[in-house]
Each structure stands twice: as structure tokens, then as C-alpha cells.
Chain A
Amino acid sequence: GENVEQHPSTLSVQEGDSAVIKCTYSDSASNYFPWYKQELGKRPQLIIDIRSNVGEKKDQRIAVTLNKTAKHFSLHITETQPEDSAVYFCAASPYGNNRLAFGKGNQVVVIP
């Protein structure tokens, strides 16, 4: 089955700086790559996703890039704010969104 790895496991950034989290996946058939954000004590929520037919997608301060050849995708957060502090999970699936394999999560800490 699909195996997703995230790194670094913890990332600390100064407020206003950029944060980048990278994920690698194993199944070349994967075609759907979402990112979920989980704030402390809350449920995971989708923040952005990308499908294999595009290389980049942006939504305000967040963007996701996909490199199918290298089998990795990254989340970019610009102008980080304290409310960006959370655990971010990447996921991948060769079945659309119906059987997502999640990574172990990245703890992002934005230092005011």
C-alpha cells in the first residue's frame, strides 16, 4: 500500500518567515494529495489539496507543489502567523480521496 513520510517532524519559524514541509510517497499511482491542519485539541481540517495533473496550487498564504517524478510534494506557508501553529498532515492516495494514507504529521511552531 501507499507509504507517506513527512519531514521535518518539528519546525519552528519566526513570525513572518516562511515554512516549508515536505512529504514523500511511495506509490507512483497516487493521484490525490491533500494537506490537513490540526490545531491543538481540535479536529483535522483540509487546508489545500492537489491532484496529479497539476504541479502547483495556491490559496492566499499557502501553496502546494508536486513533483511526480521524484514522488514528493511540499506545503509552503508564507508570512507565518501565530495561528499557523499546528500539526500538519500530508496524505496521498491512488484511489482519489477514498483511501488516504497519512504521514505522521509535522508540528509547526510560529514564534511571535
Chain B
Amino acid sequence: EAGVTQSPTHLIKTRGQQATLRCSPISGHTSVYWYQQALGLGLQFLLWYDEGEERNRGNFPPRFSGRQFPNYSSELNVNALELEDSALYLCASNAGTSGQNTGELFFGEGSRLTVL
């Protein structure tokens, strides 16, 4: 069974540009979570999508946004990039609110965003 996949693996942008990151959850999972992992700051919660809707967002500015598609894949958009947005962006999935949720988050390998 395929795990959570993310693309691109690496992305280099300059300040002010926009970045789009993509995530495909494990088959059967309806929830997708986005986390930012910046050096020394651990895993900071960005967004949670379930069944196509945004369920919750963390303490990030509105220029961080995303969406979930009917096939449950998701994309994260970061507008007006700033230097401090450089980080590893991790996507995770689980069965969400479907009742099949065991509690475990299954993470992808991440997308490394570098802002110059």
C-alpha cells in the first residue's frame, strides 16, 4: 500500500513569490494535515482538511492557505513568500472523523521549501 506522497521534494523560491505544495493521502484516508517543521521549532500545525472542508487552522497568517480535492488530495499555497517560510512542510493523513481513525498520523517525506 502506498504511503503519503508529497511533491515537490525540494522547491526554491525568492521572496514575494508563491509556492504550491501537493499531498496525496493514503488510500481511504479522508483527513489531511499540514505541518511546518522549521529548524528548532518542532512541528507546527498549519491546516486540517477533512472531507473537502477546512476544519481547523493553526496560528499562521492568511497567506498560508490550501484546499482539499474530491479525491482527498490536498495542496498548500504560500503567497508572498518570506525568508522565514523556509522549512520542511510535512503532510499527514488519517481516517479523520470517519470512525475508522486509530489515532495515528501517517506522514509524508515532506517538501523542503527554500526562500532566497
Question: Quick one: CB contact mask for A1-29 with B, threshold 8 Å, 1 for yes?
Answer: 10000100000000000000000000000
* Interface residue B31 (Cβ < 8 Å from any Cβ of A): yes
- A46 is an interface residue with CB less than 8 A from chain B: yes
Sort chain A's interface into a size bin. 20 to 34
Check B44 against A102 for contact (C-beta < 8 Å). yes
Q: Is A67 engaged at the interface, CB distance under 8 Å to the other chain? A: no
The verdict on A73 contacting chain B, using a C-beta distance below 8 Å, is no
The reply to whether A102 and B42 contact each other, CB–CB distance below 8 Å, is: yes
CB nearest neighbor in A for B59? A1
Nearest chain B residue, comparing its CB with the CB of A99: B56
B110 within 8 A of A: yes
Q: Could you say which residues of chain A place their CB within 8 Å of the CB of B41?
A: 104
With A89-B43, A98-B97 known as contacts, the answer to whether A43 contacts B103 (CB < 8 A) is no
The interface size of chain B toward A, counting residues with CB under 8 Å, comes to: 26
Q: How far is the CA of A76 from the CA of B14 in the complex (A)?
A: 43
Q: Which of A42, A44, A45, A49 has the most CB of B within 10 A?
A: A44
Query: Would you call B110 and A102 a contact (CB within 8 A)?
Result: no
B45:A99 contact, CB within 8 angstroms: yes
B103 CB contact (under 8 Å) in A49, A103, A105: A49
Q: Are B96 and A44 in contact (CB under 8 A)?
A: no
- Report Cα–Cα, A89/B86, bound state, in Å: 21
Known: A43-B90, A43-B109, A44-B90. A97 touches B103 (CB 8 A): yes
A101 to B55, CA, bound (A): 15
When distances are taken between beta carbons in the complex, the residues of chain B under 8 Å from A82 are none
Can you spell out 12 A-B residue pairs with CB atoms less than 8 angstroms apart?
A1-B59, A43-B4, A43-B108, A44-B105, A97-B94, A98-B55, A98-B96, A99-B56, A101-B45, A102-B42, A102-B43, A104-B40
Q: A residues engaging B (CB < 8 A)? A: 1, 6, 32, 34, 36, 42-46, 49, 89, 91, 96-105
